[in-house]
Amino acid sequence: MYLKRLSLVNFKNFSELDVTLSKGINCFVGDNGEGKTNLFDSIYYLSFCKSYFNPADSQNIRHHNDFFVIQGEFSKADQSEKIYCGLKRNHKKQFKRNGNEYQRLAEHIGLIPLVMVSPADAALIVDGSEERRKYINGVISQFDKLYLNNLIRYNKVLLQRNSLLKEFARNKRYDEEALDIWDQQLAELAGYIHNKRSGFINELLPIFQYYYDFIAAGHEKVDLIYQSQGIDTNWLEIIRNARQKDRILQHSTVGIHRDDLKLTLTGYPIKRQGSQGQQKTFLLALKLAQYDFLKTISKIKPMILLDDVFDKLDNRRVTQLIKLVSEEHFGQTFITDKSEQHLAGILAHIPIEHRVFRVNDGYITMIEKILYIKVYY
């Protein structure tokens, strides 16, 4: 699967764009702020129906305009897939596949498997547990629609339960039977989601460790530890035991919405232990493991977007990463870099068809097209 053509109108700093892409490697060079990351975000939209960076869709409309349009033509299993995303200010977002509008955006998730690697991923290490839950949910939702639906249901039930707790406090009354209805639903969904998350991390871990060892040349031990309140007992018991505390605080204090993923380097949190290079290697290995996992599940090579990945990596780690990208194991790849010379040095070691584009203030010009060995998809 690969993206053949990308068209943009009024998306972020792009007034208009129509670009034909290589099914091998597509490289974009330019200074900071010229639009490289915005371009990647538009591709991410076509896969996930939303921005990688900004949850407010209207803020992605180009200044002084009232709408944006993103269109992509994909080749998937020798079939053409045309994806359309459009938003008018103060209107509902439209998302279409081959001209047919989705009734629920969740129906689209998983059709275009994609992995994004960005400097913004540092939030997985430095920010709170919500970022790590979002990461887990985002990966599993790409291949398991039941998980996504149950996650949506869980969040709705959680909202209703929290509203009821606030109502108890406001009206100074308590209805245990009413609370029990939501507790049972919450417990059932929590059990399902917990088991899926636990299984996913167990499968991801050895792949992640392999990629970290490969990039770092096996000098450091890393680990992913799934942390949850529901490991040793049943969820309904846990939720009921927390009722008194929940009534006082007026929100639900236990559940899978409190889960976390502990990221460690040599047994210590990488947030405190790791250098910038080690942290970047950790995140890169995590995303490459995600790629492998999705490829195995979907039987399709996902697209991989590598935004500014070479920064803060030493030469040895860059060399190892280049070896990975140049393998037939990976499908269509997108890379950004600030330096054209630096990128040329990297591409000299990648025997795959590639195109190089210069990005300048929302405009793109192809500056190099090189055909090497055939890439198989």
Q: Which of 99-108, 146-155, 286-295, 311-320 has the lowest mean pLDDT?
A: 311-320
Mean pLDDT (whole number) for 350-363: 85
Collapsing DSSP to helix, strand or coil, 4 comes out as strand
More confident residue, 139 or 340: 139
- Separation between Cα atoms, residue 108 and residue 111, nearest integer Å: 6
How large is the C-alpha radius of gyration of the chain?
22
Task: List the domains of the chain with CATH numbers.
Answer: 1-113+300-377 (3.40.50.300), 122-299 (1.20.1050.90)
Residue 146 burial (C-beta neighbours within 10 Å; 0-12, 13-18, 19+): exposed
pLDDT (tens digit per residue) in 8-22: 999 999 999 999 999
Cα separation values, 113 from 135, 142, 212, Å: 15, 7, 22
Structure tokens that stand for 119 in this block: 């400097």
Q: Under a CB-based contact definition with an 8 Å cutoff, are residues 352 and 331 in contact?
A: no
Q: What is the pLDDT of residue 232?
A: 60
- Separation between Cα atoms, residue 269 and residue 223, nearest integer Å: 10
Q: What is the pLDDT of residue 374?
A: 38
Q: What is the pLDDT of residue 368?
A: 67
- Separation between Cα atoms, residue 97 and residue 254, nearest integer Å: 39
Closest by CA position to 70, among listed 92, 40, 112, 42:
42
134 has pLDDT over 60: yes
